[in-house]
């Protein structure tokens, strides 16, 4: 797969290297072409580097790491994204005291509105950079969930495959509107991670359990609550 990285910071560099290790063709984009090239040199494995515009033109799948910066602001020709998959891994700025307002529109939905012909997928925003450092081994053993939300089912499957290829357990999280909840989860995991001691990193794993035998608590009764 051809993968373009928009912004060669912590997320872009880490995911780009991991995907290159899996045999994908990766182009590291940056506002500064020299930084993109330097990241490709670090990544090796035939990766390329340059500008964000070049990365967007090169790829079929684009990792968007520029927080709250929209394609129409950042790219000289945003139409190049039409029909491509854009993975939005962004979280909001942390407000003072973690006092988050309710999320009325996710960053991913905002991105999708900016480039309506692209297929935007929310993913990886609940995964700290430190967790990627463990991928794909020994990460696989921990069965860490990556929540994948987006309106295009095929695009969701593609991104789930990219997550599983580097050692995560992908969780199909449905339509893009659900990114509001996934972003809330990202905010929550950051809250938890900030309280961890150095060298320990929180993750979220969804466990699917068997039905209890006997229902000794009376089982789930009918309820009028929605």
Ligand X SMILES: NC(=O)c1ccc[n+]([C@@H]2O[C@H](COP(=O)([O-])OP(=O)(O)OC[C@H]3O[C@@H](n4cnc5c(N)ncnc54)[C@H](OP(=O)(O)O)[C@@H]3O)[C@@H](O)[C@H]2O)c1
Task: Report the distance separating Cα 85 and Cα 119, nearest Å.
Answer: 5
- Please give the residue whose beta carbon sits closest to ligand X in the complex: 9
Which residue, 66 or 160, is less far from ligand X as judged by CB?
66
CB 157, min distance to ligand X, A: 22
Cβ atoms of 121 and 182 closer than 8 Å = no
Query: In the complex with ligand X, which residue's Cβ is closer, 69 or 121?
Result: 69
Nearer to ligand X, 97 or 218 (CB): 97
Element (H, E) at 133: none
Contacts of 81 by beta carbon, 8 Å cutoff, 6+ apart: 56, 62, 71, 75, 115, 117, 118
* Shortest Å distance, C-beta 219 to ligand X: 38
Rg, Å, the chain Cα set = 19
Of residues 9 and 184, the one with the C-beta less far from ligand X = 9
- In the complex, the smallest distance separating the C-beta of residue 112 from ligand X, rounded to whole angstroms, is 16
Say if CB 98 and CB 132 are below 8 A apart. Answer: no
Positions in the binding site for ligand X (CB under 6 A): 7-12, 30-31, 35, 65-67, 69, 74, 89-91, 125, 127-129
CB of 107 to ligand X, least distance (A): 8
């Amino acid at each position: 797969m051809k993968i373009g990285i928009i912004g060669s910071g912590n997320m872009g560099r880490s995911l780009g290297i991991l995907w290159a290790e899996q045999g994908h063709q990766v182009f590291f984009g940056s506002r500064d072409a020299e930084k993109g090239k330097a990241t490709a040199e670090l990544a090796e494995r035939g990766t390329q580097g340059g500008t964000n515009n070049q990365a967007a033109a090169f790829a079929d799948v684009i990792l968007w790491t520029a927080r709250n910066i929209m394609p129409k602001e950042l790219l000289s020709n945003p139409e190049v994204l039409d029909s491509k998959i854009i993975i939005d891994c962004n979280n909001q700025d942390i407000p003072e005291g973690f006092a988050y307002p309710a999320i009325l529109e996710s960053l991913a939905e905002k991105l999708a509105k900016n480039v309506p012909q692209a297929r935007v997928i929310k993913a990886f925003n609940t995964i700290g950079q430190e967790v990627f450092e463990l991928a794909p081994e020994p990460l696989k053993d921990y069965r860490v969930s990556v929540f994948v939300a987006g309106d295009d089912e095929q695009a969701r499957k593609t991104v789930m495959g990219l997550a599983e290829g580097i050692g995560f357990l992908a969780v199909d999280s449905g339509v893009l509107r659900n990114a509001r909840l996934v972003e809330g989860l990202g905010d929550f995991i950051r809250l938890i991670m900030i309280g961890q001691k150095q060298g320990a990193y929180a993750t979220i794993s969804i466990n699917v359990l068997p039905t209890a035998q006997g229902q000794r608590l009376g089982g789930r009764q009918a309820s009028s609550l929605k």
